[in-house]
Amino acid sequence: MDKLDNNEQIEGVIVQPLKQIVDERGTVLHMLRKDSPLFMGFGEIYFSEVKFDVVKAWKRHKKMTQHFAVPYGKILLVIYDSREGSKTFGKINKYLLGRPDNYNLLRIPPQVYYGFKSLNDTVSLIANCADIPHSPDETEKIDINNNIIPYQWN
């Protein structure tokens, strides 16, 4: 089970299981193809390494739609819907991402906050395939402790 809360799924978030072609020499791991119904255009692919027990939070993008997959390690991803017009405004979602049981593509829509923590005993690696290239102009960060997001990282 990859969703760890009982809240409604935040509007615009999509979770799709990804194919893992198991091979004794090493598994081939799908992520995103341009003929996928989830593909929204290519802006950038990059990786975020997260060391064990480290939290990277909170961030949101004004315009970028992100697609996350975790090809190595295990991540707890927390999303907060900060869009006042959204049906799920104020809701928190928590997801596990990692292989083999939670090797999913997870879409994070723009204008929602997200943060993540590595649960692996070494490091985890998040791949992000975003529809626009990263730009500091459309990225907003707030402190891990704040008065906006009703979530405490342990």
- Residue numbers of the site for its own copies (CB under 8 A)? 24-35, 42-51, 54-56, 71-72, 118, 123, 125, 127, 129, 133-134
Q: Which two tokens stand for residue 63?
A: 């315009």
Please list the residues that pair with 77 across neighbouring strands: 95, 116
Least separation in angstroms between residue 121's CB and its own copies is 12
φ and ψ of 122, to 5 deg: -115, -100
Closer residue to its own copies, CB minimum distance, 7 or 146: 146
* Least CB distance to its own copies at residue 97 (A): 14
Task: Give the nearer residue to its own copies in terms of CB position, either 5 or 52.
Answer: 52
Tokens 């879409």 belong to which residue?
A: 107
Question: Would you give the distance in Å from CA 91 to the centre of its chain?
Answer: 16
Q: How far is the CB of 88 from its own copies (least distance, A)?
A: 28
Q: Nearer to its own copies by C-beta: 8 or 47?
A: 47
CB of 93 to its own copies, least distance (A): 22
Structural contact between residues 113 and 23, judged by C-beta atoms closer than 8 angstroms: no
Residue 154 burial class via C-beta count within 10 angstroms: exposed 0-12, middle 13-18, buried 19 and up? exposed
Q: Is 25 or 152 the residue whose CB approaches its own copies more closely?
A: 25
